[in-house]
Amino acid sequence: MTTSGCLDNPLHADYYADRAVQRRVAIVENVRLARDTYRVRFACPEIARRIVPGQFLMMRLADVNDPLLARPLALYDTVPDDDGVSTAIDIVYLTLGKMTRRLAECAAGAELDVWGPLGNGFPPEPTEHLIMVAGGIGQTPFLALGQEYLGQRQYGEPPRRVVRAKRVALCYGVRAADLLAGVPDFEAAGFDVRLSSDDGSVGHHGLVTDLLGRMLEETRGEDRLVVCCGPEPMMEAVADLCRLHAARCAVSLETPMACGIGICFSCVAKVRQPDGSWDWKRTCVEGPVFDAAKIVW
């Protein structure tokens, strides 16, 4: 995680949207992946070639005033053209409220306003074993990240270099089997995919943290980097497990956001300071990815 910058200025952040662009884009496809879960694809070469795993976009339906505010959505993957240059973006979303429900009804050709790339993204820290832990819709940032760690894809401008991991695993927990979204993509990428469900309809009948606990036992003594995204109680439990197993852990917070660019302070989280105190940090410009050991849950 980056620590450079004007540390004496409490408003300083390393990831202001200085390199972000705003574009009106047309939906290329909007397909259902699972219950209440869709993947929307749109061409936007300027964002596609800059964005890195863990970064996000703000998205609005074009010419719609309700909802007025854009919503943050993480990169699922970029789509390369025939020359291997990323030109389009895939976002996977769960239908929850006004924006995502209306988005699910949009057909190819419908327009969206998007701006990004935003936030810090996952730091490309070298590790022997990348363990990604997802709860609910929290799996969305991990296709791109895992592909990057397996040397299959590069992201960013210039393309960022990530030291190849020996193994990439995904522990993915859902309420029920019909909510699983993207598993064929994760398996095709070669991740070691381990599933859990609350109702026992797929994989381990229980919590995703049970899967993580087993994996941390299996990899004892190896260099592990755990990355996590999902509901806050799950991320807190993952952070505790990682502390017990002396594994590094980064979490991607999903706090509601109004502006996405550091102005409104609607997205703050409590983060520990070097002197042991805590301070509010804006998830949109100082996150969404934080060192789990620094979050005050």
- The site for ligand FES (CB under 6 A) is made up of 257-260, 262-267, 282, 284
Q: Which does 140 bind (CB under 5 to 8 A by kind): ligand FAD, ligand FES, none?
A: ligand FAD
Outline where DSSP puts E strands in the chain. Answer: 21-34, 37-43, 56-61, 71-74, 77-80, 86-94, 111-118, 129-135, 167-174, 192-197, 204-205, 224-229, 248-252, 268-272, 278-282, 289-291
Residue 76 or 129: the one with the smaller Cβ distance to ligand FAD is 76
Is 67 one of the binding residues for ligand FAD (CB under 6 A)?
A: yes
Q: Is the peptide bond before 288 cis (omega within 30 degrees of 0)?
A: yes
Q: How far is the CB of 61 from ligand FAD (least distance, A)?
A: 10
Is 137 one of the binding residues for ligand FAD (CB under 6 A)?
A: yes
Is 100 one of the binding residues for ligand FAD (CB under 6 A)?
A: yes
Q: Which does 259 bind (CB under 5 to 8 A by kind): ligand FES, ligand FAD, none?
A: ligand FES
Give the residue, chosen from 87, 201, 219, 255, that forms a contact with ligand FAD under the rule CB under 6 A. Answer: 255
Nearest to 194 by CA among 139, 127, 242, 150: 139
Per-residue x/- track, 138-177, ligand FAD (CB under 6 A) = --x-------------------------------------
User: What is the distance, to the nearest Å, from the Cα of residue 256 to the centroid of all Cα atoms in its chain?
Assistant: 14
Look-up: residue for tokens 């006004």? 98
Nearest to 288 by CA among 265, 258, 263, 268: 268
> In this chain, which stretch among 72-80, 104-112, 144-152, 182-190 interacts with ligand FAD, using CB under 6 A?
72-80
- Count of alpha carbons within 13 angstroms of residue 248, beta-carbon side: 17
Give the residue, chosen from 40, 48, 88, 93, that forms a contact with ligand FAD under the rule CB under 6 A. Answer: 93
Nearest to 105 by CA among 178, 182, 32: 32
Q: Is the peptide bond before 67 cis (omega within 30 degrees of 0)?
A: yes
Look-up: residue for tokens 């102005």? 263
Residue 213 or 262: the one with the smaller Cβ distance to ligand FES is 262
Residue 39 or 129: the one with the smaller Cβ distance to ligand FAD is 39
Is 231 one of the binding residues for ligand FAD (CB under 6 A)?
A: no
Residue 31 or 68: the one with the smaller Cβ distance to ligand FES is 68
Instruction: Enumerate the H helices of 126-203 as residue ranges.
Output: 142-149, 183-188
Tokens read off for 213: 């606990």
Give the residue, chosen from 17, 257, 259, 295, that forms a contact with ligand FAD under the rule CB under 6 A. Answer: 257
Instruction: Give dist(CA 245, CA 194) in Å, integer.
Output: 19
Give the residue, chosen from 148, 185, 254, 286, that forms a contact with ligand FAD under the rule CB under 6 A. Answer: 254
Residue 238 or 247: the one with the smaller Cβ distance to ligand FAD is 238
Residues lying near ligand FAD in the complex (CB under 6 A) are found at 56, 67, 71-74, 92-94, 96-100, 137, 140, 254-257, 288
